[in-house]
Amino acid sequence: MSEKEFLTKAYAQKLDSEDELKQYRNEFYLQTGTIYFDGNSLGLLSRRAEQALHNVLESWKTYGIDGWLKGENPWFYLPEKLGEMTAPLIGAKPEEVIVTGSTTINLHQILSTFYQPEEKKTKILADELNFPTDIYALKSQLNIRGLNPDEHLVQVKSRDGLTIREEDIIEAMTDEVALIVLAGVLYRSGQILDMKRITEEAHKRGIIVAFDLCHSIGSIPHSLSEWGVDFAFWCSYKHLNGGPGAVAGIYVNETHFGANPGLAGWFSSDKDKQFDMEHDLTPAPTAGAMQMGTPNLLSAAPLLGSLSMFADAGIEKIRTKSLKLTDYMLDLINIELSCFGFKIGNPLDAVRRGGHVFLEHEEAARICKALKDNGVIPDFRTPNGIRLAPVALYNTFEEVREVVQILKKIMEEEQYKKFENKRDVVA
């Protein structure tokens, strides 16, 4: 195939006609005249998620307080039900997953429960490219224990400002490290860390490992139980399309079952004991012990619909299409945008690349505003990053082509110059 044929709209349409997942696009609410490439920040609303929320509202209307034990999805068991539906996406056993809390709350719970500094083994290992909320939580937990974060938080340096080398992480695994917290996929560059290798090397040294899956769950397959990963946590509003503020999740490897939760609450209880109202907690014998208070049902309900879609489509097919979309976009960028000063910041190797494309440009903030002015929803990351996420369940190859053409037009006509080169309050 010639380059001229590759660049045509007809070729993009051919790719869409061959797409095994194309029917799922019709399940989402798409804005007319808009290309939505920000699903790695907030996924779109699906009709299934909307209906699931309506169903929970209906059960409240119909049953009142009896909705805790009656109806299609009794509320009392909803966190476990959603955990069971989530487990295949991360390669876990159903009892190892619970849907609860938020990203930051769940990290605090993991640290409060399993970070046990003793003697010289007191340090937490992270990296300098981690999402800020994780670092805030780590520093907070160290401060609570009277440990100086400047001394007890080790952050692996990036050699290029975009990626982290596993060799550098392993080198930092000294006998002073008690726990490691890393992202499965780095939020800026989209680099996938080798979670299996990191876990194996940490365990050789007696270190436990937790992964932040916010940018990997629903985007790439995982095998957490097989890899022996100790803990993981994630949000549900990005690739999982659970909605703004959707309830998050925790994975706890079954080898850690039986631990008393560091931050206990009445939903930490064994279900059979919860309403005995004893003042001595009997923790759930599963990941359910990581819960605290009453579940936020209306923020969890949409996941019933969204996760059913993942069960139907299959995470392997989702990953296959995602790579085809980003491969196609990267090829178009290399051909059409090579003379406009863009730098591709994400790994080119498919094994190392998550679900979005990351471009760097000195005018990134203004370019993102120009994209929005042209009906494209991107994601700006300070200081000079543009994230573009063609999501497998609802974006198309034709949209990928159109976005690159719009970017080319913006640069040729210097449309970005009419905007201020700084981020909005919410970037």
Q: Tell me if 134 is assigned to a ligand binding site.
A: yes
Rounded CA separation 158/161 (Å): 5
Nearest of 310, 126, 161 to residue 222 by alpha carbon: 310
Give the tokens for residue 326: 């980003």
The answer to whether 131 is annotated as binding is yes
215 is in an annotated binding site: yes
- CA pair distance 334, 336, nearest whole angstrom: 6
- Let me know: does 290 contact 259? Beta carbons within 8 Å: no
133 annotated among ligand-binding-site residues: yes
The answer to the question of whether 132 is labelled as a binding residue is: yes
Is 8 marked as a binding-site residue?
Answer: no
Q: How far is CA 32 from CA 9, 86, 125, 228, 409, in A?
A: 19, 31, 45, 45, 21
Amino acid, res. 78: L
| Four-CA torsion 99, 101, 102, 107, nearest 10 degrees | -90
| Cβ partners under 8 Å of residue 200, min gap 6 | 227, 228
Q: Is residue 104 marked as binding?
A: yes
Task: Judge whether 302 is annotated as a binding position.
Answer: no
What is the Cα Rg of the chain in Å? 22
Task: Tell me how far apart the alpha carbons of residues 167 and 198 are, in angstroms, rounded to a whole number.
Answer: 9
Instruction: Confirm or deny that 234 is annotated as ligand binding.
Output: no
Q: Binding site residues, as ranges?
A: 103-104, 131-134, 212, 215, 237, 266, 294
Q: Binding site residues for pyridoxal 5'-phosphate, as ranges?
A: 103-104, 131-134, 212, 215, 237, 266, 294
